[in-house]
Structure 1
Amino acid sequence: AYVSNPSILILDEATSSIDTYSEELIQRATETITKGRTSIVIAHRLATIVNADKIIVMDKGLIVEQGSHFELLRNENGFYKRLYDSQFAVEKAE
């Protein structure tokens, strides 16, 4: 990405098993490299995508929801909301 300056990036986020400090550094670098271009980010930790313009939520290969972070959180019974709540409950417990 640094050499060819593509207009579209596809990133597989790899922060599932790193410490919080390193995750923050990676998130900042990701925000910098994705600025001004179309980016598809495959995320395992939802903190990585909270600032995305549009989030597409998939379950078993099917799109089950889409919207911004805040739009998706408004759906109390939504798949994204349940994932978000469970991820952040675990992080708070750590």
Structure 2
Amino acid sequence: MRTEQVLKVCANHWITTTMNLKPLSGSDRAWMWMASDFSDGDAKLEQLAAKFKAPELAEEFKLKFEECQRLLLNIPLQPPHKLVNTGRTAQLIQKAEEMK
């Protein structure tokens, strides 16, 4: 989704460990993946793609995406209400903010 006022692209979905980035049409500057998009409020499975100006930016995106997936593997499985107030959650949120 593109926000018209600031011309920034945003994706309103969670990154999960089951997502796979795939090159878009053999390009070294674009990735595609499947996600549950929440742009309209309700989750809808969508195929998303991101295209970058340079191959280096595409590779950086891939590395950050995969880093987020690795961080998710370190979260112990707990009911959501127990996970919300843990110090580990705060650390992961802070890391995610630093990656922006």
Fold equivalence (TM over 0.5): no
Normalised by the length of structure 2, the TM-score is 0.28
Whichever structure has more helix as a proportion of its residues is: 1
Normalised by the length of structure 1, the TM-score is 0.30
